[in-house]
Amino acid sequence: MVQTLRVTQENRTEIRFEQVCAKYKAVCVPCNPLLYAWQQNRRLDLSRVSFPIYSHDSHPVYLAGFFGKLVLGESVGMSQLLLEAKAMRLLYYLKTEDGRDSELSKRWLTHFLARFPSMQAGLALQRVHLVHFTSLSRQMEFEATSETVVPLFYWAYALLILFAVVSCYRLDCVRNKMWVAAFGVVCVVLAVVSSFGLMLFIRVPFVIIVANSPFLILGVGVDDMFLMVSAWQKTRLRDSVRERMALVYSKVAVSITITTLTNILAFYTGVMSSFRSVQYFCIYTGTSLLFCYLYNVTCFGAVMALDGKREGLCLNWLKKPDPRYSSFRKSCCLPFGSTPDEEGMDVHPMNLFFRDYFGPFVTNPWSKLFVVLTYIVYLTSSIYGCFQVQEGLDSRNLASDDSYIIPYFNVEEDYFSDYGPRVMVIVTEPVDYWREDVRQKLGQCMIDFEKNDYVNKNLSEFWLPTYVSHLKNSSLDPNDKDTFMDNVSAFLGTVPFFTYDVNISSSKEIVCSRGFVQTMGVSTSTSKKLMLLQLREIAAACAVPLMVYNHAFIYFDQYAAIIENTVRNVMVASSVMLLVSLLLIPHPVCSLWVTFAITSVIVGVVGFMAFWSVNLDSISMINLVICIGFSFDFSAHISYAFVSSSETLVDRKSVEALYLLGYPVLQSAISTIIGVCVLFAAKAYIFRTFAKIMFLVMFFGAVHGLIFIPVFLTFFGKCL
């Protein structure tokens, strides 16, 4: 059915499989060597087939990777009889040599993917499980995954508006800020649209991980809005709008500037990552935070000023109400029938809760003991988890849960994991193959590869020893340059197995050549990383210029690079945070507590990633960078309020810090969790993982800011 599939183009011409298939001697390359041999000779004795090497018409045929879940029998040379196989792989090779061939192949593949479900249904297979995968599948499925979260953005937007309205709502119609809060969320959306529009305009690629950014920005962007609203509510109604706005900006402008600057710097340090996807995510998100800041200090500030004028007009109306609306005044505007105090501040009940209940509770001696013990358990568990976390991003986790590539990868892991990728060993430069010492060096390098624990020494192939044996059997001298070079083409003609392994230039020089080694036992991320690093070390140590390559190495490289990149990014971002805090926060003790909080939260997030089955990969690396910025926000506010307090007793300093900033910190954490919590409903692992780690970041950050740091400051605050 695959070979008969045709694509009808707009000009009525057809693309047939025979047009796009890769050919050898004018025949499409067989999809399975044993199946092809049986099709050519139906009397072939399948009971004498050996594995992994099968000798057919005196030519070795490699069957590794074509059959899985094997039952093997007696030995046949270096192989064993193949008694049973529960899985068979069919590989259809297409032409991609030039642009025209590549375009036709792509169209045929796209049509194949669209038709495959109906083709599979038409087969009505009962006992055979059929899975499929193409060279386009990974990219197409990854791109489709980002589209699945678009409806969730609307839910996040609605939930965040609801939270902002509820948290800023007042029964007092004068000081009620629910419409201001709703517009604050609108400002965040405008910031996301502006920043994404700018990035796309300057052609910064939009990769799948960037689809997480709007949810994060939606949650984080309202933090400054909550601080500005909180500062406004601490102003007096009788003051002019100009005076009240000046007081608000004098209290929060520096604070939100510092936290925004640290968050942006934390993201922009992610540009140093070796992973392009991480770079693009950090660029998009850092720019979005910058636009959030600009919209908050300008657009949102203007809305607050307009609402301040509304407060003044509303207050004047309440003082001199129209007799016709007196009942409306009592029942709607002021349910308790009292006019707002023009001189006093509007203290939110949550601020009073932190001052009168929560603060005294956590500073109680028995509570302090419990907090210290809890922190010891937290830190111990986190450190243990850090040594249990797994590395690497599984390719199937980048697709939607209902993607057809997931069953394919599952089958590949279950049935074909005994043998890993077949690795090319490439001689990258012209060498004197006719010289015996050069051949000995190459032979030794191949022996070194075969000695590796991840290589099957019986399945290596290299054209040079076979060619030398051919020359000697023909009574020719392989050490003579002219003899060696003049007979290469004839040898490749008689042994077509090596045709594509030797690249001969028009001047009859071997520009490069290759051999193959077969890897095995590389089913885990750790084994893949070790195999890759060890094979590269062997190639680098060879006296002849070599490189090893397989198309899967682009995915294996992440296993080798993830820890190095994570450590480097975290160290650089932490250093930047410390430097910024030392420069912009006037008390060095604050910088020390900021550094402590950042380190503690990072350890906690990494440790609990293991308990929540989250791997250390490019996605979690992004979140660790985010972790640094948010840990700074929570800890900097609380510790600075502590050291700036005029109270003499350390317990009262902590209570005052919680009274002033406990509720805004809690709002910030909840708003961010709301912004990303909808991603738990996403159909893709990549978005659920982002939500998990962001939950850990915000939860641990808030716990440090509201519990651990206020308590620890009471122990060490006496030395300030």
Residue 665 has pLDDT above 70, yes or no: yes
Q: Report how many domains make up the chain.
A: 4
Together in a domain, 160 and 265: yes
Please check whether residue 136 lies inside any domain of the structure: no
Please check whether residue 131 lies inside any domain of the structure: no
DSSP annotation string for 542-599: SSS-EEEE-TTHHHHHHHHHHHHHHHHHHHHHHHHHHHHHHHHSS-HHHHHHHHHHHH
Q: What per-residue confidence (pLDDT) applies to 335?
A: 45
Residue 334 has pLDDT above 50, yes or no: no
Query: How would residue 347 be classed by pLDDT, with cut points 50, 70 and 90?
Result: low
Q: What per-residue confidence (pLDDT) applies to 318?
A: 62
472 or 337, greater pLDDT = 472
Domain of residue 61: give its range. Answer: 36-90
Q: What per-residue confidence (pLDDT) applies to 311?
A: 77
What are the tokens at 330?
Answer: 């009592």
Domain end residue (candidates: 502, 525, 549): 549
Count H helices and E strands in the chain, helices first: 27, 14
Residue 454 has pLDDT above 90, yes or no: yes
The region of weakest confidence among 282-286, 504-508, 588-592 is 588-592
Span 393-409, average pLDDT:
81
Span 544-568, average pLDDT:
82
Together in a domain, 103 and 57: no
Pairing of β 59-62 and β 53-56:
antiparallel
Together in a domain, 563 and 600: yes
Together in a domain, 118 and 214: no
Span 1-29, average pLDDT:
82
Q: Residue 484: name the closest of 510, 462, 506, 514 by CA.
A: 510
Length of the chain: 720
Residue pLDDT, tens place only, 168-218: 777 666 777 788 888 888 888 899 999 999 999 998 988 877 887 888 787
Please check whether residue 135 lies inside any domain of the structure: no
Q: What per-residue confidence (pLDDT) applies to 316?
A: 67
Q: Residue 86: name the closest of 62, 67, 66 by CA.
A: 67
What are the tokens at 383?
Answer: 């450190």
512 burial level (CB within 10 Å; 0-12, 13-18, 19+)? middle
Please check whether residue 164 lies inside any domain of the structure: yes
Which residues, 6 or more positions from 440, have their beta carbon under 8 angstroms from its beta carbon? none
Query: How would residue 493 be classed by pLDDT, with cut points 50, 70 and 90?
Result: confident
Q: What per-residue confidence (pLDDT) applies to 321?
A: 57
Together in a domain, 80 and 104: no
Domain end residue (candidates: 516, 549, 582): 549
Task: Write b or e for each residue in 536-564: b if 16 or more Cβ atoms lie within 10 A of its Cβ, otherwise e.
Answer: eebbeebebebbbebebbebbebbbbbee
Together in a domain, 165 and 298: yes
Q: What per-residue confidence (pLDDT) applies to 291?
A: 93
Residue pLDDT, tens place only, 216-232: 787 777 878 888 888 88
Q: What per-residue confidence (pLDDT) applies to 451?
A: 92
Please state, in angstroms and rounded to a whole number, the distance separating the CA atoms of residues 292 and 296. Answer: 6
Q: What per-residue confidence (pLDDT) applies to 381?
A: 94
Residue 719 has pLDDT above 50, yes or no: no
Task: Classify 61 as helix, strand or coil.
Answer: strand
Please check whether residue 189 lies inside any domain of the structure: yes
194 or 160, greater pLDDT = 194
429 or 646, greater pLDDT = 429
Domain end residue (candidates: 505, 529, 549): 549
Dihedral angle, C-alpha 260, 266, 270, 272, nearest 10 °:
120
Together in a domain, 454 and 544: yes
Please check whether residue 133 lies inside any domain of the structure: no
pTM of the predicted protein model:
0.73
Q: What per-residue confidence (pLDDT) applies to 319?
A: 63
Together in a domain, 439 and 583: no
Residue pLDDT, tens place only, 122-157: 887 788 889 999 888 888 887 777 777 778 877 887
What are the tokens at 512?
Answer: 């490069």
Q: What per-residue confidence (pLDDT) applies to 331?
A: 46
For all residues of the chain together, what is the average pLDDT? 83
% residues pLDDT > 90 (the chain): 17
Residue 340 has pLDDT above 70, yes or no: no
Please state, in angstroms and rounded to a whole number, the distance separating the CA atoms of residues 654 and 651. Answer: 5
Please check whether residue 403 lies inside any domain of the structure: no
Together in a domain, 544 and 613: no
Together in a domain, 333 and 214: yes
Together in a domain, 218 and 324: yes
Q: What per-residue confidence (pLDDT) applies to 168?
A: 75
Span 453-482, average pLDDT:
89
Centroid of chain to Cα 139? 15
Span 258-268, average pLDDT:
81
Together in a domain, 174 and 259: yes
Which residues, 6 or more positions from 562, have their beta carbon under 8 angstroms from its beta carbon? 391, 392, 616, 617, 618, 621
Q: What per-residue confidence (pLDDT) applies to 268?
A: 85
Q: Identify the DSSP state of 329.
A: I
Residue pLDDT, tens place only, 53-110: 888 777 778 888 889 888 888 888 778 888 899 999 999 989 887 888 888 888 888 8
Q: What per-residue confidence (pLDDT) applies to 508?
A: 82
Please check whether residue 132 lies inside any domain of the structure: no
